[in-house]
């Protein structure tokens, strides 16, 4: 007889096993090209956590992934699959750079809030359009957000190369933001992070995690959002405007994704460069699924992916046989096992549980 699994198995053990499975298969792939996966893990762990700079990089990546993961998670709770954080972050970069260049030279304490707002507005706008098309015209956000990623790439490519690029610079990028205006890096305050790009956006990400948790489970808006996600007809019955909700939630997701731009454009690079998002938006999808769209899960899986990206960098130096792309493979496996095949282990687990756990009602 099938018995429901205890909650902790459902929310923690099952996802964990899926992640382990993804890594095991990743390990097999590494082995198949004649490399030692354990050695690789050791190098990656050292690279990600073993020394200050490495840890700083890990946190820098984690920051990006938290924002992108939240952008996917927020929409996911409303039943929307947002594949567009990549493009939303990219367009958000336009807002960040325009705000920063407009006040270039201003102290960061005043400039950064402006960058956050402007980036959020641009990112929100870019996600709002698919939201609007879904709400009012019934076009599926899955498809439209994918298409908007491509449109963002072309549009930003044009704007950077033809509009924002100042005379006298050869590579395709905008004018730089002055140091005083840039998002300050943590190494300025903590020597530990010498040379790493982690900046105060990291704290913004932590705040965002808490904010999203509060929003989804402790507000009226969150209640409406979850009702919509589980059952749109019931949400309509409950007097919730599904159309408005979809547009608002998509805009919020886009704003969240745009924080990736604050981290990179406003902080690390200090200028708008081509394709600065560099896949972080897509990692957000894996992060959201692995973290079951819960802020705590998102935080943990963002940290895991941050460590993978930084450790992978280290790996490329120490083990030339393994490229960084192995991380993309792991990312794919994580999405596959936690997102698309999340229930594969459920039935075996239920069987194990039925055998070893005390029968229900025994206590």
Within residues 127-166, the interface with other proteins by CB under 8 A covers 133, 137-140, 142-144, 146-148, 150-151, 154-155, 157-158, 162
Stretch that binds other proteins, among 42-50, 97-105, 232-240, 249-257 (CB under 8 A): 232-240
Q: Out of 131, 222, 254, 295, point to the residue binding other proteins (CB under 8 A).
A: 222
Q: Check the CA dihedral 175-208-110-249 and report its sign.
A: positive
For the bound state, the minimum distance from the C-beta of residue 303 to other proteins, rounded and expressed in Å, comes to 20
**69-103 burial by CB neighbour count: b if 16+ within 10 A, else e?**
bbbbbbbbbbbbbbbbbbbbbbbbbbbbbbbbbeb
What the block records as the tokens of 63 is 């920051």
213 makes contact with other proteins (CB under 8 A): no
218 makes contact with other proteins (CB under 8 A): yes
318 makes contact with other proteins (CB under 8 A): no
Q: Round to whole Å and give the CA distance between 43 and 24.
A: 17
CA-wise closest residue to 23 among 353, 329, 361 = 329
Q: Round to whole Å and give the CA distance between 123 and 78.
A: 19
275 makes contact with other proteins (CB under 8 A): no
The site that binds other proteins (CB under 8 A) totals a number of residues, namely 73
For the bound state, the minimum distance from the C-beta of residue 336 to other proteins, rounded and expressed in Å, comes to 4
- Taking residues 2 to 31 in sequence order and writing x for each that binds other proteins by CB under 8 A, - otherwise, the string is x--------------------------x--
239 makes contact with other proteins (CB under 8 A): yes
362 makes contact with other proteins (CB under 8 A): no
Site for other proteins in 64-83 (CB under 8 A): 81, 83
For the bound state, the minimum distance from the C-beta of residue 189 to other proteins, rounded and expressed in Å, comes to 33
DSSP 179: T
For the bound state, the minimum distance from the C-beta of residue 224 to other proteins, rounded and expressed in Å, comes to 7
Side-chain-side CA neighbours of 18 within 13 Å: the count stands at 29
| Angle 15-20-23 from CA coordinates, rounded to 5° | 130
For the bound state, the minimum distance from the C-beta of residue 257 to other proteins, rounded and expressed in Å, comes to 16
Q: Out of 39, 175, 178, 329, point to the residue binding other proteins (CB under 8 A).
A: 329
Nearer to other proteins, 144 or 310 (CB): 144
Cβ–Cβ under 8 Å, residues 73 and 241: no
Nearer to other proteins, 151 or 349 (CB): 151
Q: Round to whole Å and give the CA distance between 225 and 219.
A: 10
Q: Out of 124, 240, 249, 277, point to the residue binding other proteins (CB under 8 A).
A: 240
Nearer to other proteins, 16 or 155 (CB): 155
287 makes contact with other proteins (CB under 8 A): no
Q: Round to whole Å and give the CA distance between 346 and 342.
A: 8
For the bound state, the minimum distance from the C-beta of residue 136 to other proteins, rounded and expressed in Å, comes to 8
Q: 309-313 — which CB contacts under 8 Å span 24+ positions?
A: 309/58, 309/61, 309/283, 310/47, 310/48, 310/54, 310/57, 310/58, 310/60, 310/61, 311/43, 311/44, 311/45, 311/46, 311/47, 311/48, 311/58, 312/44, 312/47, 313/47, 313/57
């Amino acid at each position: 007889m099938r018995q429901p699994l205890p909650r902790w198995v459902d929310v923690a053990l099952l996802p964990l096993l899926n992640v382990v499975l993804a890594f095991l298969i990743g390990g097999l792939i590494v082995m198949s090209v004649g490399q030692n996966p354990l050695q690789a893990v050791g190098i990656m762990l050292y690279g990600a956590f073993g020394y200050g700079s490495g840890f700083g990089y890990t946190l820098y990546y984690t920051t990006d992934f938290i924002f992108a993961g939240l952008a996917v998670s927020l929409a996911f709770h409303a039943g929307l699959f947002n594949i567009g954080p990549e493009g939303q972050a990219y367009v958000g970069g336009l807002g960040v750079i325009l705000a920063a260049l407009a006040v270039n030279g201003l102290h960061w304490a005043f400039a950064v809030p402006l960058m956050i707002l402007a980036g959020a507005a641009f990112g929100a706008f870019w996600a709002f359009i698919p939201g609007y098309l879904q709400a009012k015209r019934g076009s599926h956000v899955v498809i439209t957000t994918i298409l908007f990623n491509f449109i963002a790439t072309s549009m930003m490519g044009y704007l950077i190369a033809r509009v924002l690029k100042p005379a006298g610079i050869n590579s395709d990028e905008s004018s730089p933001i002055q140091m005083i205006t840039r998002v300050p890096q943590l190494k300025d305050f903590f020597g530990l992070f010498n040379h790493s790009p982690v900046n105060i956006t990291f704290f913004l990400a932590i705040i965002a995690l808490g904010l999203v948790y509060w929003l989804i489970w402790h507000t009226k808006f969150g209640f409406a959002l979850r009702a919509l996600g589980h059952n749109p007809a019931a949400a309509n019955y409950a007097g919730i405007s599904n159309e408005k909700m979809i547009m608002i939630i998509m805009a919020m997701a886009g704003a969240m994704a745009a924080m990736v731009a604050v981290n990179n454009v406003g902080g690390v690079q200090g200028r708008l460069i081509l394709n600065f998002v560099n896949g972080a938006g897509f990692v957000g999808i894996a992060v959201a699924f692995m973290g079951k769209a819960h802020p705590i899960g998102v935080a943990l899986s963002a940290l895991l992916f941050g460590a993978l990206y930084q450790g992978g960098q280290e790996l490329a130096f120490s083990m030339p046989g393994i490229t960084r792309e192995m991380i993309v493979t792991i990312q794919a496996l994580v999405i596959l096992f936690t997102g698309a095949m999340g229930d594969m282990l459920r039935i075996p687990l239920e069987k194990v549980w039925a055998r070893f756990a005390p029968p229900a009602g025994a206590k």
